[in-house]
């Protein structure tokens, strides 16, 4: 008898889910929600990825993934990564998402593999619109972007939601404001337009999270006035308390970097009217991609033990401000190997970074 391939895919997904429930370490209920940013840059994908991406990483010992120099467009790669995320207590993954003016959506191979993986139901997914690619160039293009989100992502059961509303992270609120002004509108109108599109498609709206440093203008006025629902960050490079100056030095060690994170956390929580999804980092070392202008800034990487101390500081903040933080942290990053921000298992550290995540924030809810 010839059985349809869809039957086998459905059976595989069922068996995979059952295996997770049986084998997951720990069955306690989590008190926290843990997200992680994912950089989909590990596949040759012109025009954004102009050459094989692993070449620069190979020269820096210790960064080779346990999966090897993988092609993240493969379903088995996505499945293994999701298995690890689930096992070590990561609740949702936020894929960096790109749109280019002449080609539409770009670097979607990792998220496409996620959507085909039998493990997709075990970890939620969201998108960080990496809107520093000179988009949107027009109102029509903005509409096309939102329509793509609604059609391809928001209808998925595994899409990450806040209060039942699909969440989208915006990398550059300033950039979006400039582009909106260039075609005669503003961000408040754009976000409301996007929400109406979602409602017309049968969804409850869109929950927009704007990323920002601890600077008074965006935190106290711009993001709330523009209609964002929450604030977070991709990463920080120094500590800020309401204002930025070119004279403020970048971190020169992981200790300085994480001290800066605490400074920014505390200022934002004291001044933001919006919920704050607390950002944390595994470090910074951009040498594979040419290095930082301040070369000493590339010494801002830490050991798994130091990472654990950073996570514990974040956890104490979630406990102190459970409403304002929604008890949520977002880690930078799963696989920013070129910037030295990664917790994906590597040949050097194995699963030690992931072990710290689980030890601080707990196992997945069963």
pLDDT mean over 151-178 = 98
pTM: 0.92
27: pLDDT strictly greater than 50:
no
pLDDT of residue 16 exceeding 90, the answer is no
In a domain, 17, yes or no: no
Give me the CATH number covering residue 283.
3.20.20.80
Residue 215 lies in a domain: yes
Residue 15: per-residue pLDDT? 41
The whole-number pLDDT of residue 10 equals: 42
Report yes or no on 68 lying in a domain.
Answer: yes
Number of domains in the chain: 1
Mean pLDDT of the residues in the chain: 92
Domain contains 3 = no
Is residue 139 a part of any domain in this protein? yes
Average pLDDT of span 13-27: 40
Q: Which of 108, 143, 101, 141 is nearest to 127 (CA)?
A: 108
Instruction: Give the pLDDT confidence score for residue 13 in this predicted structure.
Output: 44
Does residue 173 register a pLDDT over 90? yes
Which whole number is the average pLDDT over 12-27?
A: 40
**Cα angle value 32/235/125 (rounded, 5°):** 50
| Domain region containing 192 | 30-361
Is the pLDDT at 11 greater than 90? The verdict is no
pLDDT at 332: 98
Establish if 157 belongs to a structural domain: yes
Residue 26 has pLDDT above 60, yes or no: no
Q: How confident is the model at residue 363 (pLDDT cuts 50, 70, 90)?
A: confident
Mean pLDDT over 143-147 rounds to 98
pLDDT for 307-338, tens place per residue? 999 999 999 999 999 999 999 999 999 999 99
pLDDT category at 364 given cuts 50, 70, 90 is low
238-267 pLDDT tens trace: 999 999 999 999 999 999 999 999 999 999
In a domain, 22, yes or no: no
- Whether 274 maps to a domain, the answer reads yes
Q: What's the pLDDT score for residue 61?
A: 79
Of the chain, the percentage scoring pLDDT greater than 70 comes to 91
Which pLDDT score is estimated for 207? 99
pLDDT digits (tens, 9 = 90+) for 92-141: 999 999 999 989 999 999 999 999 999 999 999 999 999 999 999 999 99
Q: How confident is the model at residue 30 (pLDDT cuts 50, 70, 90)?
A: confident
pLDDT score recorded for residue 64: 97
pLDDT tens digits for 179-226? Answer: 999 999 999 999 999 999 999 999 999 999 999 999 999 999 999 999
């Amino acid at each position: 008898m010839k059985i349809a391939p869809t039957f086998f895919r459905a059976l595989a997904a069922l068996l995979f889910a059952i295996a997770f429930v049986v084998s997951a370490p720990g069955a306690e209920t989590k008190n926290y929600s843990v997200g992680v940013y994912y950089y989909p840059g590990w596949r040759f994908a012109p025009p954004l990825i102009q050459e094989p991406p692993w070449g620069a990483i190979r020269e820096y010992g210790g960064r080779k993934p346990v999966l090897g120099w993988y092609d993240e467009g493969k379903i088995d790669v996505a499945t293994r990564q999701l298995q690890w995320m689930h096992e070590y207590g990561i609740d949702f993954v936020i894929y960096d998402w790109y749109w280019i003016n002449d080609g539409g959506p770009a670097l979607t191979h990792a998220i496409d593999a996620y959507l085909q993986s039998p493990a997709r139901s075990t970890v939620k997914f969201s998108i960080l619109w990496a809107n520093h690619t000179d988009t949107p160039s027009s109102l029509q293009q903005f509409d096309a972007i939102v329509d793509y989100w609604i059609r391809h992502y928001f209808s998925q059961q595994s899409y990450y939601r806040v209060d039942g509303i699909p969440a989208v992270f915006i990398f550059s609120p300033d950039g979006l404001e400039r582009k909106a002004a260039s075609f005669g509108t503003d961000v408040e109108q754009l976000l409301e337009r996007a929400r109406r599109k979602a409602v017309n498609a049968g969804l409850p709206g869109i929950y927009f999270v704007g990323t920002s440093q601890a600077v008074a203008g965006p935190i106290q006025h711009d993001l709330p006035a523009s209609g964002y629902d929450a604030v977070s960050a991709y990463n920080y490079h120094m500590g800020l308390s309401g204002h930025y100056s070119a004279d403020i030095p970048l971190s020169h060690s992981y200790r300085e970097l994480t001290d800066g994170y605490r400074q920014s956390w505390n200022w934002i929580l004291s001044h933001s009217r919006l919920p704050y999804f607390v950002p944390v980092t595994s470090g910074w070392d951009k040498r594979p991609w040419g290095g930082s202008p301040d070369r000493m800034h590339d010494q801002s990487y830490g050991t798994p033990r130091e990472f654990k101390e950073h996570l514990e500081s974040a956890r104490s903040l979630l406990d102190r401000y459970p409403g304002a933080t929604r008890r949520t942290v977002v880690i930078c990053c799963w696989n920013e190997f070129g910037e030295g921000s990664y917790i994906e298992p590597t040949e050097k550290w194995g699963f030690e970074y992931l072990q710290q995540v689980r030890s601080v924030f707990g196992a997945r809810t069963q």
